[in-house]
């Protein structure tokens, strides 16, 4: 009798392991650990943003060079709670191309453009996608960077296929080594959420992690990595983690005008002139 009970108990434990183990593997894929990829070496323009000085808390996030002296990021990492991103706020930017053992030289700059309708909220109860479409900011560095290739931006009028995939890059706050995290093969899920208002943003089937806000949403423009938007948020639908990004077209005219009038490094068009690959480019941007 004892042997029979022991066998049944062992069988039940084995059955439970067979059932639970695949579930754990599947769930782990929903919010994967920080990772690198073959793209990492091509993303020297992506870096870590730090905001704040003595007397106020320092906030860490991600940004990326789009000219020798201009960095794009999310507005909510530049603003205090209850306020919009203030023009002139001092910012430190550490590009990954200069990183050695997780510690990169800091470049100083300041905020030169942001949507003043965006107000930073503390722990919002619901995800306001309309507000997220305003969540962007432009930083101008005090000195241009000559040895890092900036990321080109997706031309605002581009229309590309819906079955394409994205990549995202950023610095998760939980990663003690401060390594750039790159996730590939993210799918545009905007069209599958009919009950939600998604005008002006892109919903991503990719596990955006805290700290990756301000990082680029990337597509492949015939072999050239092109930034199609800015990562701004993560949220959960059931057990699935999704990301939110703002497409470049939401602020293209504003930043282009600001970059052309720069006293540090006036530049022409920041947009990619090459047509985007029909194989992996997203639509609706």
What are the extents of the domains in the chain? 40-260
pTM: 0.79
Q: List the one residue out of 281, 228, 240 whose CA is nearest residue 29.
A: 240
Contacts of 161 (CB under 8 A, 6+ apart): 278, 281, 282, 283
How many degrees, rounded to 5, is the angle at CA 180 between CA 70 and CA 114?
A: 30
* Half-sphere exposure (Cβ direction) of 24: Cα atoms closer than 13 Å: 6
- Per-residue pLDDT tens, the chain, 285 aa: give them: 445 444 344 434 323 222 222 322 222 234 555 555 678 888 999 999 988 665 555 668 999 999 999 999 999 999 888 899 999 999 999 998 765 444 456 799 999 999 999 888 876 655 666 667 899 999 999 999 988 999 999 988 776 556 677 899 999 876 656 788 898 888 887 654 443 445 678 888 888 888 899 999 998 767 788 999 999 988 777 777 788 899 998 999 999 999 999 999 998 889 986 545 443 344 445
Choosing among 3.40.50.300, 2.40.10.120, 3.40.50.2300, 1.20.58.1910, the CATH entry for 40-260 is 2.40.10.120
d(CA 264, CA 140): 8
Residue 25 has a pLDDT of: 25
CB 80 within 8 A of CB 186: no
Q: How far apart are the first and last CA of the chain?
A: 67
């Amino acid at each position: 009798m004892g042997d029979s009970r022991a066998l049944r108990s062992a069988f039940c434990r084995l059955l439970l392991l067979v059932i639970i183990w695949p579930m754990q593997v599947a769930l782990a894929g929903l919010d994967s650990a920080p990772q690198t990829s073959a793209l990492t070496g091509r993303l020297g323009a992506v870096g870590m943003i730090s905001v704040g000085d003595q007397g106020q808390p320092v906030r860490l996030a991600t940004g990326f060079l789009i000219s020798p002296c201009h960095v794009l990021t999310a507005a909510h990492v530049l603003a205090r709670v209850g306020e919009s991103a203030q023009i002139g706020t001092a910012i430190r930017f550490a590009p990954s191309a200069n990183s050695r053992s997780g510690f990169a030289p800091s470049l100083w700059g300041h905020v030169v453009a942001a949507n003043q309708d965006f107000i930073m909220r503390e722990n919002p109860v619901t995800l306001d996608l309309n507000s997220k479409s305003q969540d962007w900011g432009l930083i101008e560095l005090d000195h241009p960077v000559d040895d890092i290739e900036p990321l080109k931006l997706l031309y605002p009028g581009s229309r590309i296929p819906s079955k394409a995939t994205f990549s995202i890059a950023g610095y998760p706050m939980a990663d003690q080594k401060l390594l750039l995290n790159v996730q590939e093969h993210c799918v545009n899920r905007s069209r599958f959420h009919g009950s939600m208002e998604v005008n002006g943003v892109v919903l991503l089937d990719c596990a955006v992690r805290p700290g990756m806000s301000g990082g680029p949403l990337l597509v492949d423009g015939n072999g050239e990595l092109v930034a199609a938007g800015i990562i701004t948020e993560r949220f959960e639908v059931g057990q699935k983690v999704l990301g939110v990004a703002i497409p470049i077209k939401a602020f293209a005219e504003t930043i282009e005008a600001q970059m052309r009038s720069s006293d540090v490094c006036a530049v022409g068009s920041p947009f990619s002139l090459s047509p985007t690959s029909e194989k992996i480019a997203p639509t609706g941007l």
